[in-house]
Amino acid sequence: MLCRAAVPLSIDHKPNTREERTRIEDAGGVVVWAGTWRVGGVLAVSRAFGDRPLKRYVIPTPDIVEEELTADDDCIILASDGLWDVMSNQVSTSGMMCLSFRRPHALETAIQMLMLLHHILHHMLAVWVRSLRV
């Protein structure tokens, strides 16, 4: 989430959206209500890494949004889908959750966070690839 006017940089992949539900059902999967809409009654997102029993229906392919940063951009929020389930884009950009670009050492902090995220995703991918060999 880019804090400039609450610009979303990702799209929630929920199994009950028309496109995702169609894709899942066309692959032979089901979307059921279990407190929230879930793929196979288990997973509340329709795109993810590492859910081997659901891998025919849950794909890891993200939707990528590119946004040019401007001098007016103050901050960015890095969060999982759980945050967006309970908080609106506008509320989250109120300032308390933002990683500000204008604070001292903000760029270094952002780079460290992105490096950590890269490391975590690299590890997750390695585990996922190993699971395919079983």
Encode pLDDT of 67-101 as tens digits.
887 777 777 776 666 666 666 766 555 554 555 55
Domain count, the chain: 1
- Per residue in 31-74, pLDDT (tens digit) is 999 988 999 999 988 988 767 889 899 998 887 778 887 777 77
**pLDDT of amino acid 49:** 78
How many CA atoms within 13 Å lie on the side-chain side of 57? 24
In a domain, 2, yes or no: no
C-alpha to C-alpha distance for 107 and 9, rounded to whole angstroms: 19
Residue 56 within a domain: yes
Q: What is the CATH number of the domain that holds 120?
A: 3.60.40.10
Range of the domain at 23: 18-132
Cα dihedral 126→122→66→70 (10° resolution): 180
Would you say residue 64 lies in a domain? yes
